[in-house]
Amino acid sequence: MESSNLFLKACRREPVPRTPVWFMRQAGRYMKEYRELRAKHTLLEMCRTPELAATVTLQPVEKLGVDAAIIFADLLLPAEAMGMKLEFVEGEGPVLSPTIQGAQSVRGLREVTDGELGYVGDAIRVVCRELQGKVPVIGFAGAPFTLSSYMIEGGASRDFAKTKTLMYRDPGLWQELMEKLVGVLTRYLASQVAAGAAALQIFDSWVGCLGPEDYRRYVLPHSQRLIANLAPLGVPVIHFGTGTATLLQLMREAGGDVIGLDWRVELAEGWSRVGHDVAVQGNLDPVVLLGPRENIPERVERIMCAAQGRPGHIFNLGHGILQHTPVENVQAVVEAVRNFRLDKSEPRSR
Amino acid sequence: MESSNLFLKACRREPVPRTPVWFMRQAGRYMKEYRELRAKHTLLEMCRTPELAATVTLQPVEKLGVDAAIIFADLLLPAEAMGMKLEFVEGEGPVLSPTIQGAQSVRGLREVTDGELGYVGDAIRVVCRELQGKVPVIGFAGAPFTLSSYMIEGGASRDFAKTKTLMYRDPGLWQELMEKLVGVLTRYLASQVAAGAAALQIFDSWVGCLGPEDYRRYVLPHSQRLIANLAPLGVPVIHFGTGTATLLQLMREAGGDVIGLDWRVELAEGWSRVGHDVAVQGNLDPVVLLGPRENIPERVERIMCAAQGRPGHIFNLGHGILQHTPVENVQAVVEAVRNFRLDKSEPRSR
pLDDT tens by residue, B297-322: 999 999 999 999 999 999 999 999 99
* Confidence band for A344, pLDDT divided at 50, 70 and 90: low
pLDDT at B340 over 70: yes
Contacts for A128 with CB less than 8 Å, ≥ 6 apart: A137, A195, A196
Active-site residues of A: which are they? 25, 29, 38, 74, 150
| Most B-contacting residue of A24, A210, A285, A322 (CB-CB within 10 A), to test interface | A285
pLDDT at B7 over 90: yes
* Confidence band for B115, pLDDT divided at 50, 70 and 90: confident
CA–CA separation, A220 vs A292, rounded Å?
Answer: 39
Residues in chain A: 350
pLDDT at B263 over 80: yes
Average pLDDT over residues A166-170: 98
Phi/psi for B199 (5° steps) reads: -160, 160
Phi/psi for B241 (5° steps) reads: -155, 170
pLDDT at A348 over 50: no
Q: For residue B229, how far is the Cα from the chain centroid?
A: 18
Residues of B in contact with A213 (CB under 8 A): 266, 302
At B62-98, the pLDDT tens digits run 999 999 999 999 999 999 999 999 999 887 789 999 9
Cα dihedral B215/B220/B221/B226 (nearest 10)? 140
Are A290 and B243 within 8 A, CB to CB?
no
pLDDT given at position B3: 59
Mean pLDDT over all residues of chain A?
95
pLDDT at A152 over 60: yes
At B8-62, the pLDDT tens digits run 999 999 999 999 999 999 999 999 999 999 999 999 999 999 999 999 999 999 9
At A198-252, the pLDDT tens digits run 999 999 999 999 999 999 999 999 999 999 999 999 999 999 999 999 999 999 9
Average pLDDT over residues A11-33: 97
Which member of B13, B25, B187, B225 is catalytic?
Answer: B25
CATH number belonging to domain B3-342:
3.20.20.210
Average pLDDT over residues A33-53: 97
CA–CA separation, A209 vs A190, rounded Å?
Answer: 28
CA–CA separation, B150 vs B152, rounded Å?
Answer: 6
ipTM: 0.94
pLDDT given at position B132: 95
pLDDT given at position B2: 53
Assign a CATH topology to domain A20-278: TIM Barrel (3.20.20)
B322–A contact, CB cutoff 8 A: yes
DSSP 8-state class, residue B26? -
| Most A-contacting residue of B285, B295, B299 (CB-CB within 10 A), to test interface | B285
pLDDT given at position A342: 80
pLDDT at B348 over 50: no
Cα dist. B342→B1, B277, B306, B308, B337 in Å? 19, 21, 10, 7, 11
B246–A contact, CB cutoff 8 A: yes
pLDDT at A66 over 70: yes
pLDDT given at position A3: 59
Average pLDDT over residues B178-206: 98
pLDDT at A2 over 70: no
At A293-336, the pLDDT tens digits run 999 999 999 999 999 999 999 999 999 999 999 999 999 999 99
B266–A contact, CB cutoff 8 A: yes
Contacts for B89 with CB less than 8 Å, ≥ 6 apart: B95
At B208-255, the pLDDT tens digits run 999 999 999 999 999 999 999 999 999 999 999 999 999 999 999 999
* Confidence band for A115, pLDDT divided at 50, 70 and 90: confident
Q: Is A228 exposed, middle or buried (0-12, 13-18, 19+ CB in 10 A)?
A: middle
Are B168 and A291 within 8 A, CB to CB?
yes
A169–B contact, CB cutoff 8 A: yes
Span of A87-96, A265-274, B62-71, B96-105 with lowest mean pLDDT:
A87-96
pLDDT at A45 over 70: yes
* Confidence band for B1, pLDDT divided at 50, 70 and 90: very low
Share of chain A above pLDDT 90, in %: 93
Is the sign of the CA dihedral A107, A113, A119, A122 positive or negative? positive
A118–B contact, CB cutoff 8 A: no
